[in-house]
Amino acid sequence: MTIEEMQQRKMELGLTYEEIADRCGLSVPTVQRIISGTTQNPREYTRRQIETVLSDGEWGTVLRERAFSYMTKKQGDYTAEDYFALPDDQRCELIDGVIYDLASPTAVHQTVAFEICLHLNAYVNKCGGKCLVLAAPLDIKLEKRTVVQPDVMVFCEKEGRKNRRLPDLAIEVTSPSTRSRDYILKLSKYMASGMSEYWVVDLQKERITVYLFEDELITMHYGLFDKVPVSIWDGKCVVDLSEAKRKISFSAELDVEPDFADEEEEAGGDDHPDLEV
């Protein structure tokens, strides 16, 4: 199965990562990383275990209390009403009527998003501006068939504003499974919504792309550790992740799955080979 097929099958069966992990005999983080695409080269045994669970049609006919309302429609037909009917613990996004499951973020992702929030909030506190910095999860309804959860959002009070729940600045910290959505789908949706500014923080390419929605689309590129000015505040606030290099490096160590197979071999037993990625 491809990553997309795994994600689609997971939604069709209405299985949580915990349920898949339990039936595979794997850890929840391992299952999350493989299905989300974060782990691009999983072990063959691990991949087969997940595929076996997702391929088993039996689970699709079992009635469960956690059955999701969106299973009654085809992808592309869902609305915001369907989206808001989902269980509170089911993190998803709705774009053009398609529901996308959101895997648990990595430690690096969370560290970068948190550090950006700190920079933005420090500026708001210092200047006393009428702005609010928030982090996901928070639903932002852009239109009838699109509800998203930006990783970082800035809301500023403005007179005569029609949509008070539309952020002035949205920031996405992208991952392998969300890259195309962040760069293409969300870009077009944010631009059409009337938002002022949008960032894509690409951890793999170590790049920050800033999009300004003025009379025409303006695109600027920065390195991950460059000083990036915030245009909604006329560049008076600058986000500088170089100050957090040590934290980001440390969080990367938390994202590495331990190899329990090696530990078992050292202990003289290997009853469950390749249990982890």
**Class for domain 1-67, per CATH?**
mainly alpha
- How far, in Å, CA of 27 to CA of 56, rounded? 20
Q: Which residues of the chain have pLDDT under 50?
A: 57-70, 260-277
- How far, in Å, CA of 148 to CA of 155, rounded? 15
- Residues forming CATH 3.90.1570.10 domain(s) in the chain: 107-254
HEC sequence for 249-267: HHHHHHCCCCCHHHHHHHC
Residue 160's pLDDT is: 64
Residue 162's pLDDT is: 67
- Residues forming CATH 1.10.260 domain(s) in the chain: 1-67
Domain 107-254 has CATH 3.90.1570.10: yes
- How far, in Å, CA of 73 to CA of 76, rounded? 8
CA distances from 72 to 13, 53, 60, 68, 75 (A): 12, 21, 12, 8, 10
What the block records as the tokens of 231 is 């245009």
- How far, in Å, CA of 124 to CA of 157, rounded? 12
Please give the model's pTM, rounded to 2 decimal places.
Answer: 0.72
3-state helix, strand, coil in the chain (%, to 5): 40, 20, 40
